[in-house]
Amino acid sequence: MTAVEDRAGLPSDEPAAPEIGKARRRKEDARLITGKTTWTDNMVLPGMLHLAVVRSPVAHARITHVDVSAVREAPGVIAVYTGQDFAEEQGSLPCAWPVTPDMVNPGHPSIAVDQVNHVGEAVAVIVARTKAAAQDAVELADVDYEPLPVVLDMERAVAEGADLVHDHLESNTSYHFVFDAGEMGTGSDTDQAFADADVVVSRRFVQQRLIPAFMEPRSVVVQPQGDNYTMWSATQIPHILRVMAAMVTGIPEHKLRVVAPDVGGGFGGKLQVNPEEILCLLIARRLGKPVKWTETRSESLMTAHHGRDQIQFVDVAADREGNVKGLRVRLLADMGAYLRLITPGVPALGAFMYPGIYKFPAYRFECDGVFTNKVPTDAYRGAGRPEATFAIERIMDELAVELGMDPLELRRRNWIDAAEFPFTTVAGLAYDSGDYETATQQALELLGYDELRAEQQRRRESNDPVQLGIGFSTFTEMCGLAPSRVLGSLSFGAGGWEHAAIRMLPTGKVEVVTGSTPHGQGHETAWSQLVADSLGVPFEDVEVLHGDTAISSRGLDTYGSRSLVVGGSAVVKAADKVIAKARKIAAHLLEASEDDLDFAGGKFSVRGTPGTGLGIQEIALAIFAAHDYPEGIEPSIDAEATFDPENFSFPHGTHLCAMEVDTETGFVKIRKYACVDDVGTIVNPLIVEGQVHGGLAQGIAQALYEEAVYDDDGNLTTGTFVDYLVPAASDLPHFDTGNTVHAAPGNPIGAKGVGEAGCIASTPAVVNAALDAVRHLGVTDIRMPLTPERVWRALHDGGDGGERATARTNAQAADSTEGPSMTGGAL
C-alpha cells in the first residue's frame, strides 16, 4: 500500500475515474481571482525605478523640438529620454509576417524620433523614483509638432493622390495579397463561375475596429544583473518576446530571460512585442537599475494594438436552385500606422476561411493592407477568422433572401456532408471531421426554433412594436496553430510546434513544463488532467510550470486556440516517453520482460499475475536512488517532447440567436441564444463552457456594443470604458450551450480548440437575427455595432439607415465581373 493510494482513498486495484472529461474547477483560480499572486505590477525590486511615457497628442506630425529640461528638474526624476537618445540603438519593433515578398514595412521605432504617426505614440520617457513622480513630470515635457495631413479613411487612403502616412513611401498600401483557387489548382476559374451564374449577390461589410480590452493592463519589469537581463511582462508570448527582444536590442538571447508570471487576459492583445518592453530593456541597460512600467487604462485603450478594422467587398454566385458557384472577396485591411508582430498576417489568415463550411467550386481572395494614422491593428480573438465567418454567414443570408429560400435550407444544400470528411475545400484546407447536420439539429432543439418562428409570425401579423428575428451561423474555424511547414509556406517568421517536459520527482510528484504560456485559459488544470490520465497519477500530484524561459526553455506560447491541441499534445507525447522509460525500469525491478508488462492506473503489472506490480511514482523514487537499474540506460524517466501538428484542426458549430427589436426605439435584446459546438474531445467541460461563454460575450459585443471610434483629427473618442462599451454579465442573455464530439484525427488528444469559437461564430448570428426581425420593414443592413440609433435610423429611413454598410443586389451584377482587382470595389 503506497501513500498515494491512501490519499486517493481507493482500493489499489480499482482504477480511478478518468480525469479527461471531468468538469474540474480550475486549480489556478483562487490565486488569480483574489489577486494574491505575481501579477507583474505587484513586483517590487530593490532600487526599482518607475517609467512614465510622454505620448503624442496629435495623429500625424513632425517633431520639431523637444524640451525636457523642466522634466529633468522635477522632484524624484532620475532621467528623461527622447527618441534622439535611442535613435541609434532602438532598431525597429519586429514584424514576423511578410505576407508578400514585396510587402512594404516602414519600420516602427519604439520611441518616435522625428515624426509621430498616431495619437499616443511615445515621444519621451521619464524615469523617476516613484510612479507618481514620473506621472507628475509628464506634463512638464514641451514638445513642438508641425502637423501633417491626417489619413484615417482606408478608401480615401488608397485613392489616387491621397495624403501619405509615411511620406517616404510611394503609397499607403503595404501589400496586395491574393489567393486564387483557380491559379492554386484548388478550384475552378472564378470569373467564369460568376459569368455563368444565375444570381450574384454583392455586399460591402464593415468590420469595425475593436479594442482587445484585456483586464490586466500591460506591465513590464526589467532587472539588469551584470550583463544579464530578466524581463517580467504581462505578455502572452514570453518565448517569442525573448527572441524578438534579443534581436531588436542586441542583447544576446542567452543573456535575456523573459518571464510571463500570472497574466490577466490577452485575447491576442498581448501577442505583441511592445515599445515599452524594448524601452524598459534599453533604459535598464543604460541605468543599470531595475525599472517598471505599468500602463494606465487610458494608455491601454489608446496605444495597445487594436483588432479587426476591415472593409469587405463580398460577391457570391449561385444558380437559381441555390447551389453556390463562386465566391469573391476583396478586403481593405487597416494596418494602422505601422506593421506590428503579425499585423499584415491577420487578414491573410482569414483568407482561407471565407468559404466556410460550403462547397464552393471557385474562390478568389485579395486584400490590400492599408496604412492610416491610427494605432496598429493586430491579433484579436479569432484574428481574421471572425471577419471571414461574418462575411460568409452574412452573405449566405443575403443570398437566401435574394433566392427566396429559407436560410437554413440554403446552408444545408451547400454544406459539406458528414460522410464527406476529410474534405479539401476550395481554399485548399483539409477539414478533418464533423457533422454539421447533427449540430444544427441539436441547436434548433435547444433554441426552441419552431415555437420562436411561430411567435415571430404572430408578432409580424399583429404589427407588434417588438419584432422577433432568428439568425444562423453555421461556422467552422481553423485552430491548432499551426503546422510549421504550412506557416513556412505562408512566410510566417516562426514554426507552430509546441514543447513539453515532464519531470518525475523523487516523491512521485510530477512537474509538467509547458511552452504554451497561459493567460487565463486554465492550462494548469487541463494539463494536470491530461497527465493524471496518461501517467495514472492523482490530479493533485501534478504541478504545471510555464511562462519562464529559464524553466520552460522551448515554447511558442498561447494564441489561435492552439494550447490544448498542440501544447497539450506535446504533454501527452512526453508522458508516453516517461512511460516508455519507466517500463524498462519496471521490467528490471519486476524481473519480467517489457513485453509482458501492462501499464494501467499508474502501475506496471506482469500480465497474468494479478496483485503484483510497481507504480510509476514508486519507480520515480527508485530511479532517484538509482541503486538498481538496468545496464545501458540513464537513471532518469524524465522526458521531453515537441509536437508539430500535421494539419490544423477544424472546430465547427451551429449558433442560433433569437433577437427582439424594439421598433420604436431601435433597442435590440437577445431573447435566446443557443449553440452547439464541436470542439473535438473535451478534456474539461467546465473550461470549455467558460471559453464558449466568454467568446460569445466578445462576439456579441462586436455585433452590438464595441467600436473604437476616432474623430477627424485622429483622436480616439472611445478612450475610456464610458464610451468603449464592453458588455457585462447583466447585458448578456443566458446561453444554452451543447456539444457534439468528433475527435480531431490530427492529434493524440482529439481536441480541436475552443478559445475562439464563441467569438467567431456569434457575431453573424446576432446580426442575422436582428435583420431577420426587421427586413420585412424595409431594412437591408445595419452597420456594426448595432447601436439603437443605427437600428432606429434603418427602420426610420429604410435600407441601411444611411450608413454605407451595404450595397446592392443584382440578378446580373454587371460591373462586378469587370475585373478582379476591383471586385465590389465600386460599391
Partner 1 sequence: MIPAPFSYARPTTVEEALQAIAEGGEDVKVLAGGQSLIPVMRLRLAAPETVVDLGRVDGLRGVRDDGDAIVIGAMTTHSDVLSDPLIAEHAPLIAEATGTVADRQVRHRGTFGGALVHADPAGDLPAVALALDAEFVIVGPGGRRTVPAAEFFVDYLTTAVEEGELLVEVRVPKLAGSWGMRYEKFNRVAQAWSIVAVAAVVRRENGRIAEARVGLTNMGPTPLRARQVEEALAGAEATAEAVAAAAERAAEGTEPSSDLNAQADYRQHLATVLTRRAVTAAAGL
CB of 695 to partner 1, least distance (A): 18
Query: Of the candidates 407, 446, 222, which has an alpha carbon nearest to the alpha carbon of residue 322?
Result: 407
Kindly tell me which of 4 and 71 has the beta carbon lying closer to partner 1: 71
Size of the site for partner 1 (CB under 8 A): 28
CB of 138 to partner 1, least distance (A): 9
CB of 825 to partner 1, least distance (A): 29
Residues 6+ apart with CB under 8 A from 55: 119, 120, 121, 122, 123, 299, 302, 303
Q: Which of 493, 727, 799, 820 binds partner 1 (CB under 8 A)?
A: 727
The 112-141 site mask, x for binding partner 1 (CB under 8 A), equals -------------------xx--xx--x--
Kindly tell me which of 419 and 722 has the beta carbon lying closer to partner 1: 722
Told to check if 723 binds partner 1 by CB under 8 A, we report yes
Told to check if 788 binds partner 1 by CB under 8 A, we report yes
CB of 669 to partner 1, least distance (A): 11
Given a contact cutoff of 8 angstroms between Cβ atoms, the answer to whether 19 and 539 are in contact is yes
Question: What is the Cα–Cα distance from 218 to 378, expressed in whole angstroms?
Answer: 16
Kindly tell me which of 75 and 149 has the beta carbon lying closer to partner 1: 75
CB of 732 to partner 1, least distance (A): 10
CB of 26 to partner 1, least distance (A): 24
Q: Which of 792, 807, 824, 825 binds partner 1 (CB under 8 A)?
A: 792
CB of 468 to partner 1, least distance (A): 19
Question: What is the Cα–Cα distance from 69 to 322, expressed in whole angstroms?
Answer: 71
**SS3 at position 207:** strand
CB of 709 to partner 1, least distance (A): 6
Question: What is the Cα–Cα distance from 361 to 587, expressed in whole angstroms?
Answer: 57
Question: What is the Cα–Cα distance from 619 to 68, expressed in whole angstroms?
Answer: 65
The 497-536 site mask, x for binding partner 1 (CB under 8 A), equals ----------------------------------------
Question: What is the Cα–Cα distance from 440 to 281, expressed in whole angstroms?
Answer: 52
Told to check if 214 binds partner 1 by CB under 8 A, we report no
Question: What is the Cα–Cα distance from 45 to 150, expressed in whole angstroms?
Answer: 42
Told to check if 667 binds partner 1 by CB under 8 A, we report yes
Told to check if 725 binds partner 1 by CB under 8 A, we report yes
Kindly tell me which of 123 and 566 has the beta carbon lying closer to partner 1: 123
Told to check if 720 binds partner 1 by CB under 8 A, we report yes
Kindly tell me which of 417 and 789 has the beta carbon lying closer to partner 1: 789
Told to check if 665 binds partner 1 by CB under 8 A, we report yes
Question: Would you give the distance in Å from CA 189 to the centre of its chain?
Answer: 33
Told to check if 208 binds partner 1 by CB under 8 A, we report no
Told to check if 705 binds partner 1 by CB under 8 A, we report yes
Told to check if 489 binds partner 1 by CB under 8 A, we report no
Sheet hosting strand 466-476, strand order edge to edge? 466-476, 652-662, 668-678, 735-739
Question: What is the Cα–Cα distance from 159 to 546, expressed in whole angstroms?
Answer: 48
For residue 251 the three cell numbers come to 542583447
CB of 790 to partner 1, least distance (A): 10
What long-range pairs does 709-715 form, CB within 8 A, spacing at least 24? 709/209, 710/59, 710/152, 710/374, 712/150, 712/152, 713/58, 713/59, 713/150, 714/58, 714/59, 714/60, 714/118, 714/119, 714/150, 714/152, 714/373, 714/374, 715/59, 715/119
Told to check if 664 binds partner 1 by CB under 8 A, we report yes
Question: What is the Cα–Cα distance from 102 to 87, expressed in whole angstroms?
Answer: 26
CB of 727 to partner 1, least distance (A): 5
Q: Which of 226, 728, 734, 814 binds partner 1 (CB under 8 A)?
A: 728
Q: Which of 225, 228, 296, 593 binds partner 1 (CB under 8 A)?
A: 296
Question: What is the Cα–Cα distance from 688 to 383, expressed in whole angstroms?
Answer: 20
Told to check if 57 binds partner 1 by CB under 8 A, we report no
Told to check if 42 binds partner 1 by CB under 8 A, we report no
| Alpha carbon distances (Å) from 106 to 191, 373, 440, 767 | 35, 13, 47, 37
CB of 117 to partner 1, least distance (A): 24
Told to check if 717 binds partner 1 by CB under 8 A, we report yes
Applying CB under 8 A, which part among 80-88, 162-170, 199-207, 293-301 lies near partner 1?
293-301
Told to check if 44 binds partner 1 by CB under 8 A, we report no
Any alpha helices (H) in 775-814, and if so which ranges? Answer: 788-797
User: Could you give phi then psi for residue 511, rounded to 5 degrees?
Assistant: -105, 125
Q: Which of 389, 647, 718, 763 binds partner 1 (CB under 8 A)?
A: 718
Q: Residue 145 belongs to what H/E stretch?
A: strand 142-147
Residue type for position 21: G
Given a contact cutoff of 8 angstroms between Cβ atoms, the answer to whether 248 and 91 are in contact is yes
Question: Would you give the distance in Å from CA 626 to the centre of its chain?
Answer: 46
User: Could you give phi then psi for residue 178, rounded to 5 degrees?
Assistant: -130, 135
Q: Which of residues 61-120 bind partner 1 (CB under 8 A)?
A: none
Kindly tell me which of 74 and 622 has the beta carbon lying closer to partner 1: 74
Give the DSSP letter of residue 588: H
CB of 151 to partner 1, least distance (A): 22
Applying CB under 8 A, which part among 153-161, 222-230, 324-332, 712-720 lies near partner 1?
712-720
Told to check if 789 binds partner 1 by CB under 8 A, we report yes
CB of 135 to partner 1, least distance (A): 5
Kindly tell me which of 415 and 673 has the beta carbon lying closer to partner 1: 673
CB of 401 to partner 1, least distance (A): 27
Kindly tell me which of 89 and 139 has the beta carbon lying closer to partner 1: 139
Told to check if 297 binds partner 1 by CB under 8 A, we report yes
Kindly tell me which of 212 and 217 has the beta carbon lying closer to partner 1: 217
DSSP codes, 214-245: -SSPPEEEEEEETTEEEEEE--S-HHHHHHHH
Q: Around 155, how many Cα atoms within 13 Å sit in the side-chain half-sphere? A: 12
Question: What is the Cα–Cα distance from 33 to 262, expressed in whole angstroms?
Answer: 11
Q: Residue 642 belongs to what H/E stretch?
A: strand 639-643
Residue in the structure block whose three cell numbers are 524620433: 113
Told to check if 298 binds partner 1 by CB under 8 A, we report yes
Given a contact cutoff of 8 angstroms between Cβ atoms, the answer to whether 672 and 766 are in contact is no
Applying CB under 8 A, which part among 236-244, 552-560, 689-697, 715-723 lies near partner 1?
715-723
Q: Which of 34, 462, 463, 730 binds partner 1 (CB under 8 A)?
A: 730
Question: What is the Cα–Cα distance from 528 to 543, expressed in whole angstroms?
Answer: 7
Q: Which of 153, 731, 736, 803 binds partner 1 (CB under 8 A)?
A: 731
List residues binding partner 1 (CB under 8 A): 131-132, 135-136, 139, 296-298, 664-665, 667, 705, 709, 717-718, 720, 722-723, 725, 727-728, 730-731, 787-789, 792-793
